Amino acid sequence: MYPNLLLPLLVALALALAALVLIAVRQPVSRRLAFRQVARRRTEAALVIGGSMLGTAIVIGALVVGDTLDFSVRQEAYRTLGPVDERVVAPPGPAGDAVAERLATLAGDPDVDGVLTVRAAQASALGSTAGHPVAEPRVLAWQVDFADASRFGAPGGDPGLDGPNPEPGQVVVNEPLARSLDVRPGDSITLYLFGTPGTYRVERVLPEQGLAGTGLGGRLNRNAFLAPGTLDAAARAAGTEARSVTFVSNRGGVEGGNALTPQVTADIHDALGPLAGQAAIDTPKQTVLRDAKQAGDSLGALFLMIGSFSIIAGALLLVNIFVMLGEERKAQMGMVRAIGMKRSRLVGSSTLEGAAYALMSALPGVGVGIAVGWGVAVVAAEIFQGWSVGGSSIRITFDVTPTSVLNGLAMGLLIAFAAILATSVRISRFNIISAIRDLPSSPGRGPRRRRVAVATSLAVLCAVAAVPAVARSRPEATYLLPALALTLAAPALLLVLPRHAVTTLVAGAVLAWTLLAPVVRPRIFDTPSMSVYVIQGALAAFSAVILVSDNQKWVLRPVRRLLERPSESGLAARLAVAYPLAKRFRTGATLVMYTLIVFVLVLLTEISGILRAGVDGVVDDATAGYSLRLDHNPQVAGGDLVDELRNSPSSYGISAVTPLLNATGRATDPGHRDPRPLDVAVVGVPDGAITGITFRERLPGLATDPAVWETLAADPRYVVLDGFFGSTGGPAGDYYDPGDTIVVTDPRTGRSEQKVIAGVLSNGMVFYPGTGASSTTYPVVMNEGAARELFGTQAQNASALVRTAPGTSADELATRLQGEQLSSSLVATPIESEIREQFDSSTAFFRLMQGFLALGLGVGITGLGVVMVRAVRERRRTIGVLRALGFRARTVRRSFLWESAFVAVEGIALGCLLGVLTTWLMYRNSAAFEGLAGGFPVEWAGIGALSAATFAASLLATLGPARRAAAIRPARAVRVTD
């Protein structure tokens, strides 16, 4: 994933390693000091390596998820296309024969490896399992010469069809159809060809690969291959003709030929000449590979965004550890500085030590990261199965590329090196005399004039730049620039206000802006970029922690009585809060780790709750009382679908039927996200037939939802779209509004019309194709007359919406209708069940992200454990004195446990509060939550379980250090310095 980043990252890593090698070679004293520290403190070194390993693992895990999604979608090209790069579907009859003859001339094109013309028809099938009939209404029947098919594509390649042609009365099926009917070679099945049943014996079953898995646009194709002439004979008997489909294979392999698609497509147009307007020319390979990249990038970016909070926590863990190491070795560093070591060499020694830890964690981090990616892939495979239409979901297959491993390794090491270098510079700034005598740091002087002038100038520049950024709702800049302006103004404020007041004022203002920015500029979330969420979360967590850390006296007011109690528990409580209050930086860094991770976990929990609470409202908005969507094959239907349903045995369960006109077309993106035309499913609605389906946005002047439908019926210029139209895979947003325009084109004739968006549907589920079309095919709804005028005879009644009678089960009625209308290849989809299943899958996907983020929580808990381990060593002399004065061991142990509980509770409380508040503000102001009318639930159970588990894990991580502290012997502790 991200091959364009590989070279820059490797160059940056090479430069960083070269600098480290140079320091190690040119500064032997620094090198010896660094490596001696690594060898002396093996337990602490193991903890540091573990924390750094988790950071690298999270980065690699996120990138491996992107690899897996990209590879899984690319497998669609192998599974359903193989050598097929272009597909030309011609109309039945002489025109189709003429198209095939013209395309045959492409066989001599140097850019083409093969041309194969076949016949195809939509059919249905009936099998028998244990004496019970098994129906499959979604079958594609093909008439193909296997000898020609075996020579199709690059020499030596695997086209997917081989062996002899089936004999008359025989059929070759692919694995998906065999699974649907539960048949094996030798079994008999009934095929309904053009509405007429026929019995065929299964000659063999082919793997779903290449031509054996191909279709006319779906992800899952149930194919039946018949003997030459069989389909033509069935069509003549029914008084019709089969469609002619010509496949073209570009020079190169399955993916290599994709680069030639524009040139070969132009050659196809030239070869067809005046017949180009009568055929549909598709480039399915290009679409599949484009979707693969988009899916991999968007899902990988999503997991990388989630992982970013864990990466920040890992960097803070390294910072915290080195700050503690610096404080512990303050006297030692003071001595080496006193005998002449330069500050730069001290920085070099600390940096080399940290780099050693980071490098030792690299390989384990790679292994854990790949394992994490594999685990996510396994769970995602089950979740994506729920996002299927007729079983045509993405099939997740684990994959990892060297590019992602190298990218993740380089990113993890560079982040660790940067954190270590910054911390080393910070801890090297100390007063030598104070360090040698182990005196507390004296308060620093006020800010220097030069620093004040530079910071104030930068603050003014950021404030000026923030005005147009906020006005235009630029997401990242809207958050960052005002926050930077406030932070850079702090040195100037220190000249007139106390430090405590300045810290409180700036942190409070940054937190307030972070929370209120979506209220002031709600469109800042209308972006596919994930960086805005990382920035928002980081700003909220850091500002809240700084605000709380600087006002701990006010935070501790509710427990003042416990702290002042003259008892053993009161003494333990005072000891528990004394060190966190005295060591604000390390406490703050640990708090940020907890706050960040808990914040995002609560955010995901709340979003899942909003989805669950809103599903009933979504069902009502999307269906408007309709229970089923029916899709059938108009070429083989015996008559009008409405009449057939009215006269069917199941008519008693149907109260109303609304037929829909259907056509395939292309349209421009009204959100201007993609310059290429989008595949669309045009839906023509009968005038006045639908008035109850709701809209999240309407054209100005249209006050009600029925008014939109009336406008659609009265004026052919208007269309309505789904809120996900043209989605790029990022977060849902508001990219277009009623009044914007799109251009809709009939790809067969090239005729185009500009349409005006009259409304954006709250949920357009009922208008999406229900027969396994591509996930990037979006509905465009217009009135029936407008669809016929633009698309002509291509527009046919191929679907309908059905209202069930009271007391009738939609799922049972769907099963009965599919059996009764099997000859029409009717597919009945229960709308409510489909919506609820997708909501369940969305909730499961959020749980998957929570599990991935739990690694970051592990970093935070590890950080607390490391802090407590270091605290025991740092306070050993103090503990010895307390024990010598009569403090009992259990008091010491209790104080350490309460100390970790104090930090954990503060971090958990901040994360929960920020998570709930941020989600509420997003729910009220972000377009992503429009159409969810279930209210805003606070998921007390989920948040409580999360908080309890985090708190228990924190205490468990501290139990070992607390016991070691209680076991310290006073006499030894006060005499031994190390």
pLDDT of residue 774 exceeding 70, the answer is no
At 728 the pLDDT is 61
CA nearest 939: which of 846, 869, 856?
846
pLDDT of residue 393 exceeding 70, the answer is no
CA nearest 955: which of 908, 888, 912?
908
At 439 the pLDDT is 66
**CA of 503: how far to CAs of 493, 554, 805, 944, in Å?**
10, 15, 66, 32
pLDDT of residue 306 exceeding 80, the answer is no
| Cβ–Cβ < 8 Å for 610, 934 | yes
At 178 the pLDDT is 93
Per-residue pLDDT tens digits for 223-245:
999 999 999 999 888 888 888 99
**CA of 813: how far to CAs of 195, 637, 758, in Å?**
21, 19, 34
At 389 the pLDDT is 47
Q: Where are the beta strands (DSSP E) in 524-653?
A: 628-631
CA nearest 626: which of 764, 720, 758?
764
Per-residue pLDDT tens digits for 421-468:
888 887 777 777 777 776 666 555 556 788 889 999 999 999 999 999
Per-residue pLDDT tens digits for 191-223:
988 888 999 999 999 998 889 988 887 778 899
**CA of 932: how far to CAs of 670, 723, 727, 839, 847, in Å?**
23, 12, 18, 12, 20
pLDDT of residue 825 exceeding 60, the answer is yes
Q: Where are the beta strands (DSSP E) in 91-157?
A: 112-129, 132-143
Pairing of β 188-193 and β 718-722: unpaired
Higher pLDDT, 933 or 217: 217
The token pair that represents 794 in the structure block: 């291509």
Per-residue pLDDT tens digits for 866-887:
778 777 877 788 888 888 888 8
pLDDT of residue 501 exceeding 60, the answer is yes
Per-residue pLDDT tens digits for 503-518:
999 999 999 999 888 8
Per-residue pLDDT tens digits for 44-100:
677 677 767 877 887 888 788 778 877 877 777 788 888 899 999 888 888 888 988
Cβ-based neighbours of 363, under 8 Å, separated by 6 or more? none
Higher pLDDT, 771 or 264: 264
Higher pLDDT, 323 or 471: 471
Per-residue pLDDT tens digits for 523-558:
777 666 677 888 888 899 999 999 998 888 888 888
CA nearest 453: which of 426, 492, 422?
492
Number of separate helices (H) and strands (E) present in the chain? 31, 19
**CA of 297: how far to CAs of 86, 114, 308, 905, in Å?**
25, 33, 15, 37
pLDDT of residue 791 exceeding 80, the answer is yes
At 504 the pLDDT is 93
Cβ-based neighbours of 560, under 8 Å, separated by 6 or more? none
Pairing of β 132-143 and β 223-226: parallel
